[in-house]
Structure 1
Amino acid sequence: MDRESTTLTAPRPDHRGDGPVSFAATAVEVAGDPEDGPRLLRRAARRLCEAAGPDTVLTHTGGELTARLEPGLHAAMYVSTEMRRDGAGSPLLRLNLRLSGHGATPSPAALERWAEVWHRQALSALEVVRVAGELPLMSAAVERLRPGRPLEGFAVLVTGHFLTDLVHLVGCLAELGAPLDAMTVLRKDYAYQWRHRVHGHLVEQGVRVVDAADPAAVREHTERARRRGLRCLALDDGGYVAPALLDQARAGGGAPAGPGDWAGVVEQTMSGIYKLQGREPELPFPVFSVAQSRLKGRIESYWIAEKAVTTALDLLPALKIEGQPALVVGYGNVGAQIAALLTQRRMRVAVHDADILQLIDAHESGYVTDRDLPALLDRHEPLLVFGVTGRTSMSTREFRSLRRPAYLASVSSRDIEFDLPALEALAEGDPVTRPSSSTHVLPGGVDVTVLAGGRPVNFHETDSISNLHSDLVYAGMLIGACAVATRPAPPGLDRGWADAVLEESGLLLDYYDRYGPRATARPAAPRR
């Protein structure tokens, strides 16, 4: 997919005269036919005017659309066409926005707000087809699951990273019967390149978009579904749904919702599964754990690990890493792959895991290990530490055990892997903050640099794994959603249920046929 252009230019310092000052300019690049340009421009202009308020008037002036957004701030909008830089495919339509006015320059926050609204441009038909072509396993799964429209009658809640694969996932759910106007997507706040366009596309489809951190989001989705006589089903990423429902039950002293409100939850991350540990008996519905499935653990883990290692090393300053010590905390599926990749980079790798079986596995695989993490930090003196536990792996005691400058890289959802408040409390003075890291000086003069703000490095200013890689797990989630809707297991968390359903679904056979030794390179299933 093409990169989303989000550049804001500053006002020109050499402006003279009484005319308006140019405050900022930005453009959205859309793959499409040139004749679509005027229609897309009008749609984008209407979106900007709706954000400005009902009294905003759109006018046509000298080949441009213009509008007054707020006192002293005017927008000029026009479309231009340019050939793709790679010389292939359809032309690029540039939807241009120029903000200007008289008087004081608007605040950067105000300019960014208008730029964000402008960039909420739905994907064009050509872009939707291109995304679908990068996700053939999902499309083929829909073709197998489509008969009977298994998700008809369900209000689906999706927790999503705002990448282009989310657009196709929502489209597939709709093809399986889930009504778009009853769907809620919880937005995870990562700065992906296409996040504004994905947001705009979902809203244009009639989907309700809510911040994942909104504590009322799950309850409101349940209430909306109940009013329409629909049951709820969630495709979750990080434990935003089932724990929230259980917390509501505890607060209310009863079931998390009405008896027939929730059919179940499909969870794709181990951090989401960890949040349910010890609470499984409370679950009034089944949880389909793609997170613990063999499909995710054996195939996807390498892709995540490779992206995490590559990005983390790119974020380091100019350092010679060969022969330097590294530490992987968490020897699960992804952690084991990270340890192997660091070894291939000729680093000296140590491993810690709270699970004794995982620790034995790491030891017998040749890694330096210790049951006590502070002792391992003190002895191994790692230059680079990867946190891959899905929980908080390092806090005050561990930070005090660092003996040399170290770089911390998280591969867990959000910023839970390293106890950042504890690090800040321990540090001397204010941190040195850079665009991709922050450095804290611990007592004794040890510098500790947190990469990517403590958030997962594999998501840092990038689209994580490619669509061709996310395809497999998203296809598994579609299959899990249909299983929850039509053939649910008893309430609780049964990891064997997901393996059984996924392995009899035909998904793995499809994957092998496409990418195995006799790969046929079949195209995605045709869209209907």
Structure 2
Amino acid sequence: MERETNTLTVRRPERPVAPAADGPVSFAATTVEVTGAPEDGPHLLHRAARRLCEAAGPGAVPVHAGGELTARLAPGLQASMFVSTEMRGDGAGTSLLRLNLRLSGRGAAPSTASLDHWAEIWHRQAFSAPEVERVAGELPLMSAAVGRLRHGKPLAGCAVLVTGHFLTDLVHLVGCLAELGAPLDAMTVLRKDYAYQWRHRVHGHLVDQGVRVVDAADPRAVEEHAERARGLGLRCLALDDGGYVAPALLDRARQGSPWPAAAGDWAGVVEQTMSGIYKLRGREAELPFPVFSVAQSRLKGRIESYWIAEKAVSTALELLPVLKMEGQPALVIGYGNVGSQIAALLTQRRMRVAVHDADILHLIDAHESGYVTDRDLAVLLERHEPLLVFGVTGRTSMSTREFEALRRPAYLASVSSRDIEFDLPALDALAARNPAARSVTGPSSRTHTLPGGLDVTVLAGGRPVNFHETDSISNLHSDLVYAGMLTGACAVATRQAPPGLDPSWADAVLEESGLLQDYYERYGPAATARPAPWTAADRR
């Protein structure tokens, strides 16, 4: 797939193009690129046009006009739609199909929000069969896991709830869940609102498959999924990413509300992030079902951490202005699996690295690895004066006291889910105390001027830098953890595990599943003997 060009691009002239002879003014144009057979073009165009017209309402009907499809979307707003084809000589029988949308009309130009709305709907184009096959080829461990687990359709009795980053690997994950028996029409995907390149196409593909897509921030999402599952006579099973499911259920129970479904209607939860595990600390005894912790598994901790760290460091440095980083002080807050890798990578880039961790064993490990440390984070900030700070705790690591301890302009980079790592309201409040306060928001950062004139810049708006407008890690890297989650889902659905959180259970299931052996055979010393990373035989 053409990964660099398939972005949501609304092209607007600085001023509307002057009409010729009282003709319409062109407001915006955008294109979706799809890999497919040339003869598929007209069919894909008609489907895209119907999607646009359905969003506009019953009065919008696509009409053929001069080789294009046209439709009236709103008063004064006309859509012109056509397909163009770039022929390829690669012998695969596919072409690059461009589905083009041009918005025009008479009178004042629509608002930016309105144009973005129509462009987003246009970009909700389901993946073609060649694209789905190509994504599957980048995720061989998931496909092979399905081959080992699919017999007996272990997820056939489950209404699966997935918390997802809208990357292309999510398309294959949902397909694998369906192959394991999970009914698509009973599935819900909670959408995390990161600005990924392919997010609109992933959304459109899931809806096209019959999957219900809901915003992850919707407070009713989990409850509505459970109610729907109960009506279908299915048990709920969640593949979570960041603690959106089990903690929400426990909170409702503590508030005296009934469970969204009876506790026995939940098979369990598979959690892949430490931020989700932290939300369950001290509440394990309240869980009425098992939580399968991929987050704490050796599989995730020892293999995936480097990939995340490398992406976080490279993206953070790209977001900085042009600075000489060699010899500059950096601070890593959180010396766990990912934080320790970030500290090592910054050291390799010849920065002077300090480390803080609330866990004394981690702090001892960091000290004996040669890093500057202190048990008091504010003291460490004053003493080390970092230019660049990475927060990797999965919780709030810096608030008012820590911001006040900064002694030089600093850049803050989060590697935690959502925007919890840095206390952004506290930073806003500090900036408001400065009579000459300014808050400058750019395309990839926000700078606050604190009392005393100190500038503190939060990269990526406080969201994880490794997710900023890019894929977090490549499909070949996310493949391992998603394969582990598929394995965990089948274990939760079919094994009589006791309720609660037992990381050793997850490790035992993963290590006996054959997944790690498969990984070693594909990418270990004998990997060069394999003709390709994936073949159709992997899914049998």
**Offset of 1:255 from its aligned partner?**
4.8
The one-letter code matched in structure 2 to 1:2 is: E
SS at match of 2:379: helix
Which of these residues, 459, 465, 475, is aligned with residue 467 of structure 1?
Answer: 475
Aligned to 2:8: 6
CA contact (8 A) 1:140 1:525 kept: no
Do 1:286 and 1:490's aligned partners in 2 also have CA atoms closer than 8 Å? yes
Give the match's secondary structure for 2:218: coil
Counterpart in the other structure of 2:512: 504
How far did residue 57 of structure 1 move? 1.6
1:383-394 matches, within 5 Å, as 383-394=387-398
Tell me if structure 2 keeps the 8 A contact 1:387–1:410. Answer: yes
- Residue-by-residue CA offset, 1:338-366 (whole Å, 9 max, x unaligned): 00000000000000000000000000000
Question: Residue 446 of structure 1: CA displacement?
Answer: 1.3
- 1:175-324 to structure 2, matched below 5 A, reads 175-255=179-259, 257-324=261-328
Is 1:409 paired with 2:413?
Answer: yes
Q: Spell out, residue by residue over 1:247-281, the C-alpha distance to the aligned partner (whole angstroms, 9 max, x if none).
A: 12122355563142100000000000001111111
Number of paired residues? 528
Give the deviation of 1:103 after TM superposition. 1.1
**In structure 1, C-alpha distance between the alignment counterparts of 2:456 and 2:232, rounded to whole Å:** 53
> Hey, what does 1:518 align to over in structure 2?
526
Q: Which residue of 1 aligns with 2:114?
A: 110
Q: Residues of 1 paired with 2:328 and 2:396: CA distance?
A: 25
Q: SS in structure 2 opposite 1:233?
A: strand
CA distance in 2, matches of 1:502, 1:408: 35
Instruction: Say which SS state the counterpart of residue 264 (structure 2) adopts.
Output: coil
Q: CA deviation at 1:430?
A: 2.8
The answer to whether the Cα contact below 8 Å between 2:38 and 2:94 also exists between their aligned partners in 1 is: no
TM-score (norm 1): 0.98
Distance 2:374 2:21 in 1: 71
Displacement, 1:82?
1.4
- Give CA deviations for 1:202-232 in whole Å, capped at 9, x if unaligned: 0000000000000000000000000000000
How far has the Cα of 1:96 moved from its partner? 0.3
Q: 1:143 aligns with which of 142, 147, 164?
A: 147
Structure 1 counterpart of 2:493? 485
2 CA distance for matches of 1:413 and 1:85? 43
1:523 Cα deviation after fit: 3.7
Query: C-alpha distance in 1, partners of 2:466/2:212?
Result: 27
1: distance between equivalents of 2:223 and 2:178? 22
The structural deviation recorded for 1:394 is 0.2
Cα pair 1:387 1:408 within 8 Å, conserved: yes
Q: Measure the CA separation in 2 of the matches of 1:342 and 1:515.
A: 26
Which segments of 5 or more consecutive residues in structure 1 lack a partner in the other structure?
A: none
Point out the more displaced range, 244-253 or 198-207. Answer: 244-253
- Between 473-482 and 63-72, the greater mean CA deviation after superposition: 63-72
Q: What do the CA deviations read for 1:492-520 (whole angstroms, capped 9, x no partner)?
A: 00000000000000000000000001114
Q: 1:323 to 1:179 in 2, by over 3 A?
A: same
Note the aligned Cα RMSD (angstroms): 1.5
Q: Which runs of 5+ in 2 are unaligned?
A: none
Q: For 2:169 and 2:228, how far apart are their aligned partners in 1?
A: 26
Query: Which whole-Å CA distance do the structure 1 matches of 2:430 and 2:500 have between them?
Result: 41
Q: Contact 2:273/2:294 (CA < 8 Å) preserved in 1?
A: yes
1:263/1:286 contact within 8 Å kept: yes
Aligned partner of 1:344 in structure 2 is 348
Q: Any idea what the Cα deviations from partners look like across 1:113-143, whole Å, max 9, x if unmatched?
A: 0000000000000000000000000000000
Tell me the secondary structure at the aligned position of residue 27 of structure 2. strand
8 Å contact 1:5–1:26 — kept in the other structure? no
- Give yes or no for the alignment of 1:73 onto 2:74: no
Q: Is the 8 A contact 2:163 2:189 kept in 1?
A: yes
Does residue 1:438 correspond to 2:446, yes or no? yes
* 8 Å CA contact 1:143, 1:525 repeated in 2: no
Identity of aligned residues (%): 82
How far the C-alpha of 1:464 sits from its partner, in A, is 1.1
Inter-partner Cα distance in structure 1 for 2:173 and 2:86: 30
Larger mean Cα displacement after TM superposition, 240-249 or 161-170: 240-249
